[in-house]
Structure 1
């Protein structure tokens, strides 16, 4: 991308104009000029219209302009476990990966975001750390906090997360099926989704225990039946209450018919999957390679292929990272014993190229990938004005070279710890520039804002 010299401010109607042969508007690339004023897209014209801006940027021949991605599944972990990640490092990684908005999960911070007081603690921590991109917040549902849900809605959280199985941290315990339904009844008329880690604890208790370095043993400990049973629980609770439900990090394609049938029946349900489930396969996980551990787990090749089918037919609505890093002493605990290591994949900075590399291999155009990773997450969470290049939308933009290749070097990623299963992989899709509200995000700029659901 080339940047022309500045134009005298008094003669230019726009703060920034980006021009190029491939600008993603309304789901399709077209030659266009995008004029930005006061952080918002103010004009989209055909290439050659001659829009003038105080700053001018022209796409290179190998570049496209896409909306900044929206990642609604990020574990920032601050405060309380900032040594795992943090707002400064997480948002720098997001910006480097073309992500301009994240929505932070209510755990694994201490305190978890299960009350207004805890939300304020988190907001103060975010303000002190500095944000490179915009950040919204999920609330949490835990046993005993039904009275906190409406006040959290009034404070602008985007919805509420709960677990049906042990979360891994004691301060965020799981809810029972009756507790899930009670929360849905509170939230049914408030237009906030209940987003669920859907694995059934009884099925997991009856599965073989995960011990040792063999990935096959860990995989057997989190069977597809656990997801299917829990998703059935969520669907039936949503059916009875009329609440919006969202299935987090779907890994098992066996659950796709359940979700598709619920959608046909009019149940208000959506589902997401993640880059690791779309790109990695169980057969390739080396013994003791706990960088690959996550819950629910990475499954087999046929399962991965079926997840792609679920995306293409609309059963799965969106793709987000579930970025969940941890220090090496936790991620590599037990010298490769999958039972002892912390589960979570770090991918916030490389989510787009990971998904695009696999999509490209399958003949899926990047326009669809951007839809799954930008407009669809924004729509699910209700993040207004994000995830699209449209007049009146936020001027959150990413310049990407889809054909350019790079090798992932974990040590050079912006998130806190140099640990990722993608280390050394060659990927397509280089993010060359990111704009937040029309301003370039580079050099550690901290212009990000804390968002509230209106």
Structure 2
């Protein structure tokens, strides 16, 4: 056996189906073997994880808004990827909007690649966008390396990324099928939202500081009808579609049925939908606003049940930061506040805290946070498992240690968070990217080691 450059050894190493003692042999940034813990060649460097630490593949987060170039006062590649490394995330995929320009043209994609160069502490891939009028750009964007495409069915919140209609989708989806690309969809329709806003405007008592006011403005029907549209188009056109940040439990039955029929449809939800409940959001606590909204406790538990049965495939962050003033904390006005929650750094501890309390295993956690997101973007031959031939992207964490979420521990640009004050289990201690340590108990590699991933590089 060739002497590896590095061996990471632990008693709780998470492989594809098991968790137990193992030694991970690493050379050239790749895992070359996974052996017994006492099978270590002489002369190689050994990292010894404490016996109660979990050693598992680095997290993959396919839903992250970094907003650079153009809105670096919201976030940026350097701060976002530091937060990722601190959270055990070794690969993320950046959304095509909130940057200026958006990733809807080849020119916009190149501007984003240039902005990201040399700043990333973890590996970063990119989504392209589908907007009205850019259909001729899709092929060139895909050839240039975006992993797939995102669209909105409702106003995105920024003017430079307009939403599409059914007619737009019927034009775009055949082209995406030809390319073999997945379309990921913000699945809310404007009709039910406009109706709800009209009813709210006519109500005698409407307090924008009350979370219930905002919740009524984003009714479940907006999601349910959007999911029905997307499901029917995916079924009819046989095109791969993925529903992002799903919140409404009412739509789960139709999603379950579509998947049983073999419709090429996958589904994600987010940590905030699985931790928080509408009943607990305080007056004016606009840090909890996101779209689709956090719904009631009963809805939350149905999302957990859908995760358990496999109707929901994965849990990703939908990291969506903004400057604090955009959250309208002074007025507490939910209706005017920006909708978005930053969960990139805390996805592992939030999910472990809640999953363990419900009896789920670490192996199930890995499926939701690592394996399924890697499959979504077809990185699953290179990332998402501790397996020979894969990138040596590894996180070592303490599942029993607890911590309180405080602004001082947050690495992303803005510290306002609905997680403030939460006591969470699961402390990330070390993060390795292709065998190099990029995070160690609050310290980062002096030089960012992440690379920019393009679709053609994934094999």
TM range (shorter): over 0.9
Q: RMSD over aligned Cα, in angstroms?
A: 1.3
Q: How far off its partner does 1:334 sit?
A: 6.0
The answer to whether the aligner puts 1:64 opposite 2:54 as a matched pair is yes
2:353 to 349, 353, 357: 357
Tell me the residue number matched to 1:7: none
Query: After the TM superposition, which residues 93-242 of structure 1 pair with which residues of structure 2 at under 5 Å, given as runs?
Result: 93-128=83-118, 130-208=119-197, 209=200, 212-242=208-238
Question: For 1:302-351, what per-residue CA distance to the aligned partner results, in whole angstroms no more than 9, with x for missing partners?
Answer: 10000001011110000100000111111236611001110100111111
Unpaired runs of 5+ residues, structure 1, are 1-10
The answer to whether the aligner puts 1:45 opposite 2:35 as a matched pair is yes
Question: For 1:169-215, what per-residue CA distance to the aligned partner results, in whole angstroms no more than 9, with x for missing partners?
Answer: 00000000110121111111322110000001101111144861000
C-alpha separation in 1, matches of 2:43 and 2:261: 50
Q: Which moved more, 1:92-101 or 1:239-248?
A: 239-248
TM-score by length of 2: 0.95
Q: How far off its partner does 1:46 sit?
A: 1.3
Aligned residues: 443
The answer to whether the aligner puts 1:419 opposite 2:416 as a matched pair is yes
For the residue of structure 1 that corresponds to 2:5, the secondary structure is: strand
Query: After the TM superposition, which residues 305-344 of structure 1 pair with which residues of structure 2 at under 5 Å, given as runs?
Result: 305-332=301-328, 335-344=331-340
- The answer (yes or no) to whether the contact 2:12–2:52 under 8 Å persists in 1 is no
1:401 to 393, 398, 401: 398
Q: How far off its partner does 1:27 sit?
A: 2.6
Q: Which moved more, 1:69-78 or 1:259-268?
A: 259-268
Q: How far off its partner does 1:61 sit?
A: 2.0
- The answer (yes or no) to whether the contact 1:17–1:51 under 8 Å persists in 2 is no
Unpaired runs of 5+ residues, structure 2, are 201-205
Tell me the residue number matched to 1:281: 277
Tell me the residue number matched to 1:3: none
TM-score by length of 1: 0.96
1:266 to 246, 262, 267: 262
C-alpha separation in 1, matches of 2:414 and 2:131: 29
Q: How far off its partner does 1:52 sit?
A: 4.4
C-alpha separation in 2, matches of 1:324 and 1:355: 18
C-alpha separation in 1, matches of 2:167 and 2:416: 38
In structure 2, the CA distance between the partners of 1:192 and 1:334, relative to structure 1 (3 Å rule), is farther
In structure 2, the CA distance between the partners of 1:268 and 1:222, relative to structure 1 (3 Å rule), is same
Q: How far off its partner does 1:96 sit?
A: 0.3
Query: After the TM superposition, which residues 242-261 of structure 1 pair with which residues of structure 2 at under 5 Å, given as runs?
Result: 242-261=238-257
C-alpha separation in 1, matches of 2:84 and 2:37: 30
Query: After the TM superposition, which residues 26-37 of structure 1 pair with which residues of structure 2 at under 5 Å, given as runs?
Result: 26-37=16-27
Tell me the residue number matched to 1:83: 73
- The answer (yes or no) to whether the contact 2:285–2:329 under 8 Å persists in 1 is no
1:447 to 438, 446, 449: 449
Q: Which moved more, 1:199-208 or 1:72-81?
A: 199-208
- The answer (yes or no) to whether the contact 2:85–2:122 under 8 Å persists in 1 is yes
4+ runs of 1 displaced by more than 6 Å?
Answer: none
